[in-house]
Amino acid sequence: MNFEPYPFEKLNNLLKNITPNKNYEPSVLTIGEPQFETPEFIQNSLAKNASLLKKYPKTTGEEYLREAILSFIAKRFNTNLSDEQIIPTFGTREVLFNFPQFLLFDKKNPVMAYPNPFYQIYEGAAIATRSKVIHLNLTQENNFKPLIDEDELSSCDLVILNSPNNPTSSTLSIEELGEWVKLALKYDFVLLNDECYSEIYTNEPIPSLLEAATYVGNTTFKNTIVINSISKRSSAPGLRSGFIAGDEEILAEYMKYRTYVGCASPLPLQSAAAEAWSDEAHVAASREVYKRNFQLAKEILGTEIPNATFYLWLKVNDALEFTKKLYELYNVKVLPGEFLARQSASQENPGVGFVRIALVESELKTKDALTRIKECLNG
């Protein structure tokens, strides 16, 4: 298998011969990792249950964790799932990589579609499954939303959406998601929405694909799958708690597959995760921090405040040159958009001319970094 280097490796190569300006403190705005302390009640739960390390965890997850996730889905998305319609997972990165391998194993010539630019695990899964890839290009012209081409979709086995989107911060409405659900039923492909940023919204809650399925009458969630994670929601990426939910017939077989994968979450982590999934106050507090950061960006850079995520998808003339200049003169690291995308069928890379900026620092550090970025843009 021939995998592309990860975007951060490409960035390191781009900057390796550059000495940054030491008059500034380093500012790293490249990775989507919240730079805040994991809430104390989550840490306390982890420490309190450390003795459970002596036990093997079950692949199915403990009942208390499953109940916490089901309760979260019911409260947040007004969707009541059965126990057979969810599987707790070890974060969602592993799911995005191994679920396509499970799903497409028996397909002779599998076809996957996913947004472009994208989270690189989608591409890794396509490579691992030898899938033909259809890129759903996200551009300014389509408001960074995947366009529907039924001729192409009719050949798909798996379509991955990502709303709220990394890196563009675009979101799909319940009506738009519903159209995708109807297409999944019409052409019999599995539709998966990566919803890991669903809780980092600035004003109105972002709809889930589960809600959209019910909205268009698919109350059994046939061909409909969502994944979600606690990493961004609870500033706890190291907790590795996520879930996959939806079509119970698909999940029943996927559960068998997972017993061989060996990715069950350790029991102390499950205990802490159950506490985190059950609490909303700490999430609301985090949202306010990210919202203030977006407001700062609007004041300093003139950017619009997106509906969700903590990313700025900032348009620049030459992303590679801007990234190098920003690092050399202002000691700020950002990620060129072309590292997060691939050349499309039209021979264009939709990430060219953009940089992704992760606003995951405190208000003070964010203001300082954004001010430096503005100086670089004006220089």
What is the chain's pLDDT, residue by residue, as a tens digit (379 residues)? 789 889 999 999 999 999 999 999 999 999 999 999 999 999 999 999 999 999 999 999 999 999 999 999 999 999 999 999 999 999 999 999 999 999 999 999 999 999 999 999 999 999 999 999 999 999 999 999 999 999 999 999 999 999 999 999 999 999 999 999 999 999 999 999 999 999 999 999 999 999 999 999 999 999 999 999 999 999 999 999 999 999 999 999 999 999 999 899 999 999 999 999 999 999 999 999 999 999 999 999 999 999 999 999 999 999 999 999 999 999 999 999 999 999 977 788 999 999 999 999 999 999 999 999 999 999 8
- 158 domain residue, yes or no: yes
The pLDDT of residue 344 is 77
Do 196 and 230 share a domain, yes or no?
Answer: yes
| Partner residues linked to 229 by β-bridges | 242
Do 19 and 146 share a domain, yes or no?
Answer: no
Do 310 and 200 meet the contact criterion of CB atoms below 8 Å apart?
yes
- 42 domain residue, yes or no: no
Do 244 and 180 share a domain, yes or no?
Answer: yes
CATH of the domain at 56: 3.40.640.10
Residue 287 structural domain: 7-37+282-378
Do 86 and 27 share a domain, yes or no?
Answer: no
Domain boundary among 260, 279, 298: 279
Tokens at residue 118, please? 């994208």
- 116 domain residue, yes or no: yes
The pLDDT of residue 1 is 79
Do 256 and 320 share a domain, yes or no?
Answer: no
Tokens at residue 330, please? 């202002």
Q: What share of the chain is helix, strand, coil (3-state, %, to 5)?
A: 45, 15, 40
- 1 domain residue, yes or no: no
pTM: 0.96
Number of domains in the chain: 2
Do 355 and 316 meet the contact criterion of CB atoms below 8 Å apart?
yes
| Angstrom distances, CA of residue 194 to CA of 92, 164, 165, 224, 346 | 9, 8, 8, 12, 26
Domain boundary among 250, 279, 308: 279
Do 239 and 112 share a domain, yes or no?
Answer: yes
- 46 domain residue, yes or no: no
Domain boundary among 279, 313, 331: 279
Using CA atoms, how far apart are residues 187 and 38, in angstroms rounded to an integer?
43
Do 223 and 74 share a domain, yes or no?
Answer: yes
Do 157 and 301 share a domain, yes or no?
Answer: no
**Cβ neighbour number for residue 360 with a 10 Å cutoff:** 23
Tokens at residue 78, please? 């007004």
